[in-house]
């Protein structure tokens, strides 16, 4: 399990911005803090609430924020457009990111074997995890004030 004070595991996936392109987390480490917000499923209620909270009430000026899910890149592209998300999403259908951070969950009750556990990691400019939050259940959102404090601390 990736924990605070660990070197941040890197992984590859697909980056969804205005385009879809390859993503390697290591290319984004080293400057400002990076926030990885893992979420189970685009277009679901709690995930949308979380992404909208990160869009509307979270100061992203001092960090690079990535929403990460196991959805396919084109689904995340449609999700990003529909909800006007100004930050990048990372499509991880091969489960490299969720495995690297040990945030693998399932929705067995609807026949889905592998999704991201809702979790948030803050990585400082040295590539070290400085904050980790794991949801107790898929309906739980992170403490956004604690996340803002963690980003502020990682910026120093």
pLDDT at residue 106 tops 80: yes
Strands lying side by side in the sheet with 64-69: 20-24, 12-16, 88-91, 64-69, 34-38, 119-123, 129-134
In tens, the pLDDT along 135-149 reads 999 899 999 999 999
pTM, two decimals, is: 0.96
What pLDDT is attached to residue 156?
86
In tens, the pLDDT along 59-90 reads 999 999 999 999 999 999 999 999 999 999 99
């Amino acid at each position: 399990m990736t924990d605070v004070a660990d070197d941040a595991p890197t992984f590859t996936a697909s980056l969804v911005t205005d385009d879809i392109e390859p993503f390697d987390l290591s290319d984004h480490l080293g400057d400002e803090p990076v926030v990885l917000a893992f979420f189970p499923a685009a277009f679901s209620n709690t995930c949308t609430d979380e992404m909208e909270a990160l869009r509307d009430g979270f100061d992203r000026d001092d960090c690079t924020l990535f929403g990460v899910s196991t959805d396919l890149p084109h689904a995340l592209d449609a999700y990003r457009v529909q909800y006007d998300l100004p930050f990048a999403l990372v499509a991880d259908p091969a489960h490299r990111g969720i495995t690297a951070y040990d945030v693998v969950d399932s929705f067995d009750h609807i026949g889905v074997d592998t999704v991201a556990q809702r979790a948030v990691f803050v990585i400082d400019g040295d590539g070290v995890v400085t904050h980790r939050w794991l949801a107790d259940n898929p309906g739980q959102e992170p403490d956004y004030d604690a996340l803002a404090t963690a980003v502020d601390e990682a910026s120093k």
